[in-house]
Structure 1
Amino acid sequence: MQRNGGGVGAGGQPWVLRRVRLTWLSFMLFFILVFFPLIAHYYLTTIDEAGGPDKHIFGPRPGGELCEAKHVQDLCRIRESVSEELLQLEAKRQELNGEIARLNLRIEACKRSIDSAKQDLLQLKNVISQTEHSYKELMAQNQPKLSLPVRLLPDKEDPGLPPPKSARSCRLRSCFDYGRCPLTSGFPVYVYDTGSYPWGDYLDPLVKQAFAASVKSNIYVTDNPSIACLYLVLVGELQESSSSPLQSPSELEKQLKALPYWRSDGHNHVLVHLSRKSMTQNFLYNVSTGRAAVAQSTFFEQQYREGFDLVVSPLVHALSEPNFLEVPPQVPVKRKYLFTFQGERVESLRSSLQETPPQSFEEEMEGDPPADYDDRIIGTLKAVQDSHLDQVLVEFTCKNPRPKREERLEVLKASTFALVIAPGDGQLVASAGCGMRLFEALEVGAIPVLLGDHTRLPYHQFIRWSEAVIIVPKPRVTELHFLLRSLSDNDMLAMRRQGRFLWETYFSTSENVLSTILASIRTSIQVPAAPIKEEPAHEIPHKAGKLAGTDANLADNGDLDLGPVETEPPYASPRFLRNFTYTAADTYRAWNRAPGPFHLFPHTPLDPVLPSEAKFLGSGTGFRPIGGGTGGSGKEFQAALGGNVPREQFTVVMLTYEREEVLMNSLERLNGLPYLNKVVVVWNSPKPPSDDLLWPDIGLPIVVVRTEKNSLNNRFLPWDAVETEAILSIDDDAHLRHDEIMFGFRVWREARDRIVGFPGRYHAWDINHQSWLYNSNYSCELSMVLTGAAFFHKYYAYLYSYVMPQAIRDMVDEYINCEDIAMNFLVSHITRKPPIKVTSRWTFRCPGCPQALSHDDSHFHERHKCINFFVKVYGYMPLLYTQFRVDSVLFKTRLPHDKTKCFKFI
């Protein structure tokens, strides 16, 4: 057994002996180097002074001869031995140092390997955790996974319905055959050809032509009557002619029963009477229509079947479409007149503003006392006019027996409010004349004031008319002036804006009128709307042979992880989860908010959000809370998206035009970006990419889409290749760090209905010219976020491409500019909220890129023109100002050493 300090060295000798030898050698070396020169010098000096006979021996000799002296030879041998051993020790030392360096390199490599293995293990744990989570969600999920369902069509055989007690008691539940309209039928509608029934030749030519054009463009119309859910029959408006075949109700009943698909009682039929004049016929009053519903603008109480028949709008614009640029602006709020009214005196009010009752109606109304409010209305309105407290215009005697519509509109354009007096006869529940005056006021932005609360306005089951029309009972006419003066500017503008939306969406064109009739029936029977179309992405083949590197912008991020890179496969957003909710439970919002009830969207940014505890108590499907619900500021935050909605990814949509090198560099910078689903490159050039162009391999699909023409509107087409709700619209020369993108994505998830991005801009008021200017200077207030680097919901791509007025897209094509301004206008118009700017980014610079169009002076002049043109189209300025910017939580905050900021540089 060895003692302490014992052991054997590398040469096989004990460590003690080796130490002694090294000590002796060190002493001898010291002696030789210090004392030997001194001794030799002293000895030579002494012999020289003695002058002995051997002086020549110690004279000038070669240096080697000195060692021939016997008493010096031993010292020389010792010196040579020590020198040789020192050389050997130095070589050994260098060898040992080299071995140590090699071992250190191996240690570092092992450490890196261990760290990499830990990361791989962590990623595998994340994959296993996500897989287990998804499996548990799949096993515990009670709700079926929904998508666009398979279309089911009705059987050809009609099973028949039990007859109702009477035609007057018809309701949908008793007179409508739901079996012909399955929820997934797609709502096929068959329209009778007007030439197939006797009175078709006597229809008003303008009405017939407008109806035919609307039918041709409607997506629900089918040529196959055997699969139809609904059957439409145009019964009016008839020409003013005594030769009409409908001289008696019995004759019309006979002709209706002769329709080929009437099936004895007319169930699932709708008789449509479109009025083009305020003085219209009501020839269906005494006609027994069986189980067929009636859609017209004039109804008497004994005729109208609540919840079954439809009060529709008059056909104001039969063939010509309104010019939105001629519609007066919504601002200023107050116009020349506080309110206006033009109509006949009270004794003829019932006959001129409303309709004359049918022949048999006077006998039915005998003994019904007439209302006495018409006298009070005239007296009160004249008193307000004579008081001169406000400028009003009241005319109860028409200067022209048949005033032109243009003359009435000119007066309404100068009116803040427009009075519409409901029928004096309480039995007249809907009137074409009343509807005509109502829609003329909505068209030019005069807020309608309806005197009389017994009137049924068009589609009153779905439209919340109180948001656009002031409905006042006739006994309150004496307080009308006070009521109108008490409204704030904010309320009046909100009502005017809502009225403009209702008019544009439901009543402005014949196509809208027909679509609204069908939408009201479809909504009543709870059949979802047809899904909105997507733009097919015609791919351009390309070769991916260039391995993308890591973004150099992230080289100094240290231990900052932004999320799973290789652990999360592409994940598309769920689609059509609310197929039936839009119709069954969200009817109010669908009908009273843009874009209306005409389309079914795969997803919207307005879907309801669960309360926080629901994700832990029974409704956790798809959620990935941070730290499993405990939160966290470091790795816990980086490992999960958290938030209030389930996990998701985003799609990069990049518009490019003949800048291949710039594009390739931008695509390479996306390598390793977490939560990226795919990249859609919109190739806006008619010339295809170069054949030898190698595209970077970023580990995710890059879809190159061919466009029909060079248009900036292509940036916002709803491509079917985009499978996520979130879209990151980015220019091909924009430089964004990964942490900036991830931060913007997280912020957008909390503000899904808004544009969230980086470069902010401002719409400024030009006092001298009383118009708007586009401002790109730095400002503490902004109103736009440019879509060259911004997140937005795919929902707005549908609205931009298919719902937004075509005039705006045409101007974008004309100037090859302003598409980003148009998108900001649209989103602010829909939400009435400003965009959200994130981080301190204000602009982007691309070193070496070709000069952008924005550097041209004409670019800004065109943008000034765009803003003012868009304001004319919308009727007001929808952009709103905001004075705040979003930065990361814990930004510039001191944290403990064991914690990490959410984002290091944001």
Structure 2
Amino acid sequence: MQAKKRYFILFSASACITLLLYFGGLQVAEKSPGGGHGLEPRWPRFAERLLPFLPFHTQTEEYNLPASPRLKRNANAGLYKGRHCRMDSCFDFSLCKNGFKVYVYPQEKGERISESYQNILTSIESSRFYTSDPGQACLFVLNLDTLDRDQLSPQYVHNLKAKLQNSKLWNDGRNHLIFNLYSGTWPDYTEDLGFDIGQAMLAKASISTENFRPNFDVSIPLFSKDHPRTGGERGYLKYNSIPPFRKYMLVFKGKRYLTGIGSDTRNALYHVHNSQDVVLLTTCKHGKDWQKHKDARCDKDNAEYDRYDYKEMLHNSTFCLVPRGRRLGSFRFLEALQAACIPVVLSNGWELPFSEVINWNTATVIGDERLLLQIPTTIRSINQDKILSLRQQTQFLWEAYFSSVEKIALTTLEIIHDRVLQHMRRSSVMWNNLPGGLFTLPQYSSYLGQFPFYYAPLGIKPQQRFTAVIHAVTPLVSQSQPILKLIVAVSKSQYCAQVVVLWNCDKPLPAIHHWPATSQPVIVIEGESKVMSSRFLPYSSIVTDAVLSLDEDTVLSTTEVDFAFTVWQSFPERIVGYPARSHFWEVNKERWGYTSKWTNDYSMVLTGAAFYHRYYHYLYTHYLPASLKSLVDQLSNCEDILMNFLVSAVTKMPPIKVTQKKQYKETMMGQQTSRASRWADPDHFAQRQTCMNKFASWFGTMPLVHSQMRLDPVLFKDQVSILRKKYKDIERL
């Protein structure tokens, strides 16, 4: 009897401890690997392991909450023999000895490719990684459309196994990347692609954490066939309102799914809907036989669904629910990001897009399908500062990585690039802060302090010196030429470290004695004649962070140089200078126009007399495609416009114009310089308008931003009387 008592007491104590862990576990917020702020209501893993022994079915019946989708999806694990592949076991690094180059299989006759997959391939082929030589390639991308692997879809490609075996480059998928948006079909929607991917990497939407191979696969977002190839719309957050609350607290509008996978989650949403600040709408009207499965709530739900406009809800809600659909991913995710509606993800086990590099705790709230009733309480507890921060981050992530197919494809490649070339991989700070990983090339530097965007966050002050780079295209025939006066004026600046003359003239270099004697060194670099893009090469002679770019016939005084440099030190990530221009939209011709007329605003500061950070030389050379630089060289024009496009695309801000001055060009006695004559050429402006539209087409949008700000000494930072004395010569010009 004593033994029975002891066993009974032991069993009771075990049961109490189990229940304590179970119910206590419900209140614990598990922190994600990327750090977090306690916004992710998840079950601890020890509680999950106890599920078979706990009375969860009772709660499920009482609240109509779904059982764990994670447990259901375990059946999908191990769908391919490369299940345990990692970079060190299934990737041949020896193929990357020539750097990270990507080869796209040539398209074969008779093979159908969807518009979405063609957009991915085009984006790769126009990227800095592309090579047409498979012998130089580190990574291979198929010409076979693998985006839609739903057997019921008209886009489904048959006989993939046989087609891959006929390829000489396939090599069991080694160093291959396969893109996929949809996998599986009714009723289970498993993650099986319908063919053996071998040792290939997957760039897959709606991938589960069970099937995701960390640091090998890449989780990508589900995007629609209408998603733009390049550019894309900017986020909808136009200004930061305080307090940051909107009309609705939480919204959702979508299909209910009466039966099958995904139906449990959406069927339970009506428990939280209150028709006031929490509006969660579902409709039964989907599929051919929905009426066969309709329940008592369908008519009421359908009527409520039709009363609300989805876009109005999206733009006027603080949070947007993103529940799983048939698959784990949903179009609602990207829609919420763009609308600055903080996504509340309700899809257990979904590996979020680009999770390897993006810290989603800074832009989303991760919920749990089994704790649906806690969602309203959780989001109501988030303070205003955090809401504003989350909303701002949705806009950054949308514009940096998700607004176009091109950005999605390039982000995928950049992630793999960082794995292959680990000594040059980007830090988490680079990925999760402006301007983002696509504009922060690690080949330039692995140190944040070398990039102008991080000066302020790191508390770094720009160097007190600059390098002047003068672009020379005219023979040196007279000691009175503007370039010689310019060298003298610039070298007298207290901040000038050196003067670099880029000799792009087809005449031989002048003898040393023809150049003026200056207190600062003058370095002459012989470039290629009529290669305009060469003025922005990352020359090793440029040793300072600040570059003063000058045309040979620019007229600036030493005082003007000093003041412009002082202004640049406050805006090191932007172009700061004198000659301003603007763009406008020609309604009748439906194209962008270019103007040099003096107006109240501007959107460009030309590099004929402007400061910028030397990183933009590297970005111009290595980020922009050869096609745009070839256009510049062919026209011997527009390189200054292209640099403005690039810097505005990176910063999302306009350049800075400094003190007004109308005379920038000078003519020689008796004849004009060849440079000056271009400004009187009517074809000059026609070419620049052509360039504007070519550049806007490649960027997929117009990155230039208008501004009405001008900085003069009497208006800049310090006391007026002091600066009037410090830069008094400017007033006399």
Is contact 2:503-2:526 (8 Å) kept? yes
CA distance 1:174–1:343, shift in 2 (3 Å): same
Q: For residues 472 and 377 of structure 2, what CA distance do their matches in structure 1 show? A: 59
Amino acid of the structure 1 residue aligned with 2:357: F
Which residue is 2:283 aligned to? 396
Amino acid of the structure 2 residue aligned with 1:180: S
1:230 matched to 2:230? The reply is no
Is contact 1:203-1:236 (8 Å) kept? no
1:344 matched to 2:243? The reply is no
SS of 1:451 mapped into structure 2: strand
CA drift of 1:413 comes to 7.7
Is contact 1:413-1:445 (8 Å) kept? no
CA distance 1:819–1:179, shift in 2 (3 Å): closer
Amino acid of the structure 2 residue aligned with 1:519: E
Q: For residues 657 and 540 of structure 2, what CA distance do their matches in structure 1 show? A: 27
CA distance 1:304–1:877, shift in 2 (3 Å): same
CA drift of 1:593 comes to 1.5
CA drift of 1:518 comes to 2.4
State which of 217, 226, 249 in structure 2 corresponds to 1:309.
Answer: 217
Structure 1 segment 853-872 matched on structure 2, within 5 A:
none
Structure 1 segment 762-781 matched on structure 2, within 5 A:
none
Is contact 2:124-2:410 (8 Å) kept? no
Structure 1 segment 804-883 matched on structure 2, within 5 A:
827=647, 830-831=650-651, 844=663, 873=701
State which of 437, 442, 445 in structure 1 corresponds to 2:332.
Answer: 437
1:272 matched to 2:89? The reply is no
- TM (normalized to structure 1)? 0.48
CA drift of 1:217 comes to 3.7
Structure 1 segment 599-748 matched on structure 2, within 5 A:
600-601=443-444, 604-606=451-453, 650-654=467-471, 664-671=481-488, 673=492, 675-680=497-502, 697-698=515-516, 700-701=522-523, 717-718=536-537, 723=542, 725-730=545-550, 734-738=554-558, 740-741=560-561, 744-745=564-565, 748=568
RMSD: 6.6
CA distance 1:875–1:378, shift in 2 (3 Å): farther
CA drift of 1:728 comes to 1.4
Which residue is 2:73 aligned to? none
Query: Which structure is larger by alpha-carbon Rg, 1 or 2?
Result: 1
1:297 matched to 2:205? The reply is yes
- Alpha-carbon deviations, 1:304-339, whole Å to 9, x = none? 323332212346458973675x77865367999757
Q: For residues 247 and 718 of structure 2, what CA distance do their matches in structure 1 show? A: 53
Amino acid of the structure 2 residue aligned with 1:452: L
Query: Kindly, what percent of the aligned residue pairs are identical?
Result: 19
Amino acid of the structure 1 residue aligned with 2:181: S
Which residue is 2:343 aligned to? 449
Which residue is 1:790 aligned to? 610
Q: For residues 203 and 489 of structure 1, what CA distance do their matches in structure 2 show? A: 45
- Alpha-carbon deviations, 1:291-312, whole Å to 9, x = none? 4433321334543323332212
Amino acid of the structure 2 residue aligned with 1:396: T
Is contact 1:655-1:715 (8 Å) kept? no
Structure 1 segment 74-223 matched on structure 2, within 5 A:
170=84, 172=86, 174-177=88-91, 179-180=93-94, 185-191=98-104, 204-206=113-115, 209-210=118-119, 212-214=121-123, 216-222=125-131
CA distance 1:843–1:722, shift in 2 (3 Å): farther
- Please say which of residues 343-352 and 481-490 is displaced more in the overlay: 481-490
CA distance 1:739–1:394, shift in 2 (3 Å): same
Which residue is 1:83 aligned to? none
- Please say which of residues 479-488 and 671-680 is displaced more in the overlay: 479-488
Q: For residues 822 and 260 of structure 1, what CA distance do their matches in structure 2 show? A: 41
SS of 1:347 mapped into structure 2: coil
Is contact 1:186-1:527 (8 Å) kept? no
Q: For residues 184 and 441 of structure 2, what CA distance do their matches in structure 1 show? A: 28
CA distance 1:218–1:801, shift in 2 (3 Å): closer
Q: For residues 393 and 808 of structure 1, what CA distance do their matches in structure 2 show? A: 48
Which residue is 2:7 aligned to? none
SS of 2:376 mapped into structure 1: helix
Q: For residues 166 and 429 of structure 2, what CA distance do their matches in structure 1 show? A: 40
1:419 matched to 2:329? The reply is no
Q: For residues 611 and 300 of structure 1, what CA distance do their matches in structure 2 show? A: 37
CA distance 1:598–1:905, shift in 2 (3 Å): closer
Segments of structure 1 that go 5 or more residues without pairing to the other structure are 1-163, 353-369, 529-579, 613-642, 764-773, 894-900
CA drift of 1:462 comes to 0.9
Q: For residues 468 and 843 of structure 1, what CA distance do their matches in structure 2 show? A: 46
CA drift of 1:806 comes to 13
1:494 matched to 2:392? The reply is yes
CA drift of 1:522 comes to 1.9
- Please say which of residues 286-295 and 484-493 is displaced more in the overlay: 484-493
Amino acid of the structure 2 residue aligned with 1:309: D
Amino acid of the structure 2 residue aligned with 1:230: L
CA distance 1:179–1:208, shift in 2 (3 Å): closer
- TM (normalized to structure 2)? 0.57
CA drift of 1:377 comes to 2.5
- Alpha-carbon deviations, 1:707-731, whole Å to 9, x = none? 769x9xx698547697455321335
Is contact 2:178-2:202 (8 Å) kept? yes
Which protein, 1 or 2, shows the higher relative CO under an 8 Å CA cutoff with sep ≥ 6?
A: 2
Amino acid of the structure 2 residue aligned with 1:605: P
Is contact 2:149-2:194 (8 Å) kept? no
Q: For residues 231 and 785 of structure 1, what CA distance do their matches in structure 2 show? A: 41
State which of 318, 321, 325 in structure 1 corresponds to 2:229.
Answer: 321
Is contact 1:337-1:393 (8 Å) kept? no
- Alpha-carbon deviations, 1:799-849, whole Å to 9, x = none? 568868999999999xx99998986786466457786777x7756577878
Q: For residues 591 and 172 of structure 1, what CA distance do their matches in structure 2 show? A: 30
State which of 406, 412, 416 in structure 2 corresponds to 1:517.
Answer: 412
CA distance 1:804–1:707, shift in 2 (3 Å): same
Q: For residues 166 and 677 of structure 2, what CA distance do their matches in structure 1 show? A: 69
CA drift of 1:345 comes to 1.8
Q: For residues 424 and 720 of structure 1, what CA distance do their matches in structure 2 show? A: 53
Which residue is 2:25 aligned to? none
Q: For residues 439 and 842 of structure 1, what CA distance do their matches in structure 2 show? A: 46
SS of 1:728 mapped into structure 2: strand
SS of 1:678 mapped into structure 2: strand
CA drift of 1:514 comes to 3.6
1:588 matched to 2:406? The reply is no
Q: For residues 460 and 256 of structure 1, what CA distance do their matches in structure 2 show? A: 30
SS of 2:258 mapped into structure 1: helix
CA distance 1:853–1:698, shift in 2 (3 Å): same
CA drift of 1:670 comes to 1.2
1:478 matched to 2:376? The reply is yes
CA drift of 1:675 comes to 2.6
Q: For residues 238 and 757 of structure 1, what CA distance do their matches in structure 2 show? A: 51
Which residue is 2:270 aligned to? 378
Amino acid of the structure 2 residue aligned with 1:678: V
Which residue is 1:148 aligned to? none
CA distance 1:217–1:812, shift in 2 (3 Å): closer
Amino acid of the structure 2 residue aligned with 1:342: K
Is contact 2:483-2:552 (8 Å) kept? yes
